[in-house]
């Protein structure tokens, strides 16, 4: 197995990996967005506009919470306090959490403005989010030379995680 730091990326990359900064925050944002869609579909399965707004607001709130936590942690662990560079880095590093929600918000927006039926927009956004999670799992496996079986297993695991989030959110709400 080759060292992943010396390998070139595959020609394709899932959106969660292509975001502005953190792939970790991109994946987290994707899981969060999937959960918000699940809750929205359960509470009002015909209001794609409300789902889009809920997703965007939730992503922004979690982004702010992550930025604040990073800055507070930095302030507590460094004697020099916070710098503008630290604030700029924290805001950029965590922006991926919001960035991954934007395509899903656009899909839901198509339902809200009646380009497609609202229920179809909610289903499409859910499917896109789950497929993106699966693609991200596959991409990670490919980057680490997991082979076809490992790649399929990684994609399936990521997809199952997304489905588990949806199921748990539906059961809880």
Q: Is residue 172 in some structural domain?
A: no
Helix/strand/coil for 27: helix
Q: Is residue 6 in some structural domain?
A: no
For the cut 80, the answer to whether the pLDDT of residue 167 exceeds it is yes
Would you call 2 exposed, middle or buried from its count of C-beta atoms within 10 A (0-12, 13-18, 19+)?
exposed
For the cut 80, the answer to whether the pLDDT of residue 19 exceeds it is no
Range of the domain at 154: 17-167
Q: Is residue 11 in some structural domain?
A: no
Q: Is residue 151 in some structural domain?
A: yes
Would you call 44 exposed, middle or buried from its count of C-beta atoms within 10 A (0-12, 13-18, 19+)?
middle
Q: What is the pLDDT of residue 115?
A: 96
**Across 65-79, 81-95, 110-124, 154-168, which has the greatest mean pLDDT?**
110-124
Q: For 99-117, what is the mean pLDDT?
A: 94
Q: For 123-127, what is the mean pLDDT?
A: 92
pTM, whole model, 2 decimals?
0.79
Q: Is residue 10 in some structural domain?
A: no
d(CA 128, CA 133) in angstroms, rounded, equals: 9
Q: For 77-95, what is the mean pLDDT?
A: 83
How many domains does the chain divide into?
1
Q: What is the pLDDT of residue 5?
A: 46
Q: What is the DSSP string of 35-96?
A: HHHHHHHHH-TT-HHHHHHHHHHHHHHHHHHHHHHHHHHHHHH-TT---HHHHHHHHHHHHH
d(CA 88, CA 167) in angstroms, rounded, equals: 36
Q: Is residue 12 in some structural domain?
A: no
Q: What is the pLDDT of residue 6?
A: 42
């Amino acid at each position: 197995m080759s060292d992943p730091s010396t390998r070139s990326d595959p020609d394709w990359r899932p959106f969660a990996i292509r975001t502005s900064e953190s792939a970790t925050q991109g994946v987290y944002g994707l899981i969060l967005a999937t959960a918000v869609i699940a809750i929205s579909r359960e509470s009002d399965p015909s209001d794609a506009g409300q789902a889009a707004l809920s997703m965007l607001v939730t992503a922004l709130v979690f982004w702010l919470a992550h930025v604040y936590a990073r800055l507070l942690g930095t302030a507590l662990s460094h004697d020099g306090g916070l710098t503008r560079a630290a604030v700029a880095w924290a805001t950029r590093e965590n922006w991926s959490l919001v960035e991954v929600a934007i395509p899903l918000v656009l899909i839901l927006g198509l339902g809200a403005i009646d380009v497609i039926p609202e229920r179809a927009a909610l289903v499409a956004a859910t499917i896109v989010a789950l497929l993106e999670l699966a693609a991200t799992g596959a991409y990670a496996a490919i980057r680490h030379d997991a082979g076809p079986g490992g790649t399929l297993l990684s994609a399936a695991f990521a997809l199952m995680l997304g489905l588990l989030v949806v199921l748990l959110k539906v059961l809880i709400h």
